[in-house]
Structure 1
Amino acid sequence: MKSARILALATLASITMASGLAAHTDATNPAVIKRMEVMKAIGGSMKTLAGMAKGEMAFEAEKANAAVATIAEQGMMVPAVFEANETDPATEALPAIWENWDDFAKKADDMVMAAKGVAEITEQGAIGAALGQIGGTCKACHDDYRKK
């Protein structure tokens, strides 16, 4: 059951990353582009973890730990890059972000805290726990604040 959940989170991370790539090339608003770059860095790190968890990429502890660190670092930037209510046809951000700012900012903080709480990854088996810790926070925010 646990491995099925890990696989589901890994698959979700891969799908989430792939679905956002096309929108990034169409954005023209510099503020929205910056937001997308931050989210792309987080998504890319989740994709790295998911790829290792699913065996699609070779396990490398250094890369896995760097991915977790990137999620924490970029996650700290999320409130700042979303603070201005900027629009762009290519954005996947919902107006609910600015209507429920405190909740959005808390969810960003939850992601950062989850990433910072991941113990050093020294073996492939530990990636599932990291995905579980971080992936749930990504989903919670995306469910409320990202176009589906």
Structure 2
Amino acid sequence: MRASDAERERIAKLVSAAAGEGRLSIAEADDRLERVYTTRFRHELAEFVADLPAGRPEAPRPARGLDRFPVRLRAHAAVAAVLSVVLILRWIAMDVPFFWPAGPMFLLWGSFLLHARFVRNGGGVPPWVHRATS
């Protein structure tokens, strides 16, 4: 099957990028580029990039899920969740008409939210602390 201009351009870009990265000398890149543009068939194009990496190295992927948060913040959330479950189970075991775990859970999760805000601001001085300027 004959090679298209778009296929030749794609291979030429790979060869040019390899020369820019220092993987090929300028003379070798020029020779390959000249031969790429005179190539007639698709299967012949593969030989020009066979000894080169398939593409650029992968960019680091953004963190997903819980990996976006620091370990100390995940640990804080885990402790708050476990204590909340314990408080709710304790409330279920008691025969009390009002939901008394609301107060301790408010403190647990409030401290977690403050911690998260502190971490988001870079872990420096908390936003509610104002330094005296002199």
| Alignment TM-score, normalising by the size of structure 2 | 0.27
Q: Which has the higher helix share?
A: 1
Which structure has more relative contact order (CA 8 Å, sep 6+)? It is 1
| Alignment TM-score, normalising by the size of structure 1 | 0.25
When Rg is computed on C-alpha atoms for both structures, the one with the higher figure is 2
